Amino acid sequence: MTENLEILKEEIAARLQAGADMTRKDLFDVKMEYLGKTGKISALSKGMRDVPAEERPALGKRINEVRVWAEETFAAKEEELKKKELAAKYSAERVDVTMPADFSGTGTQHPISIVKKEIIECFAGMGFEIYEGPEIEKDYYNFQALNIPADHPARDMQDTFFITEELLLRSQTSSGQIRVMENKKPPIKVLSPGRVYRSDSDATHSPMFHQMEGLVVDKGITLCDLKGILDVFAKKMFTSETKTRLRPSYFPFTEPSVEVDLSCHNCGGKGCRICKGTGWIEILGAGMVNRRVLENCGVDPDVYTGFAFGMGLERIAMIKFGINDMRYLFENDVRLLKQFRD
Q: Which residues line the annotated binding site for Mg(2+)?
A: 255
Q: What is d(CA 301, CA 109) in angstroms, rounded to the nearest whole number? A: 42
> Residue 102 gets which letter from DSSP?
P
Contact assessment for residue 176 and residue 148, using Cβ atoms and an 8 Å cutoff? no
Give the β-pairing of 161-162 and 244-251. unpaired
* Residue positions forming the annotated binding site: 255
Distance from CA of residue 207 to its chain's centroid?
18
Rounded CA separation 189/217 (Å): 7
DSSP reduced 3-state for 100: coil
Does residue 100 have a cis peptide bond before it, meaning omega lies within 30 degrees of 0? no
Report CA dihedral (114, 215, 124, 317) to the nearest 10 degrees.
10
Write out the E strands in the chain.
Answer: 129-130, 136-138, 161-162, 167-169, 188-197, 208-218, 244-251, 254-263, 280-289, 305-312
